[in-house]
Structure 1
Amino acid sequence: MGETRLQWCKEQADEVKEIMVENYNKAVEREGKLGELELRSDDLLRKSKTFTKSAAKVSHQSRWENIKMKVVIGGVLALLAVVVFAVIIWYSVRGD
């Protein structure tokens, strides 16, 4: 009877050992995945900083292009107003 109890304890210990080895292997695998995830997150952070800088440049460039366009439109409207006033003055002088 002592031998069967000893055999049973040995089997239980072997089962626990297998579970512990499996848990250890999963932990090692998880550690590898976490390391990979950390590298990917660092890369994503670096890319987001680059994107932020690029977005700021594009925004600045777009703002200047918008200002230039407004100046051109204002110049054209001013020139058009001068031409209209010149025509009005010319007709008023010529009509006398």
Structure 2
Amino acid sequence: MSFIPKLTSAAQLQRNFRKVIEEAKEDKEPVVILRHNKPEAAVVDIETFETLSQKAGLYDEITALKALKQSEEEYQLGKAKKLTSLSSLLDED
């Protein structure tokens, strides 16, 4: 993957939609869409999108497992607090 992304304007995307899509598909790299010379969106091929979506899902799972492990460790160390209600959590200062 290149460190310099391909760029195109929103107007160019409208005029050359098929070409931009083909570039993203063939190169397996995003094409960044500029609007008023600022990045607005990116076009990626579906395989790249699915891979990124799967990785994001795995990241979410790993983050949740780390939080669960940390809470279990805090419970084992006696740092966990038992709540009688959600409002009791909000009342603490």
Q: Same-fold call, TM > 0.5?
A: no
TM-score by length of 1: 0.39
TM-score by length of 2: 0.40
Tell which has more relative contact order, 1 or 2 (C-alpha 8 A, sep 6+). Answer: 2
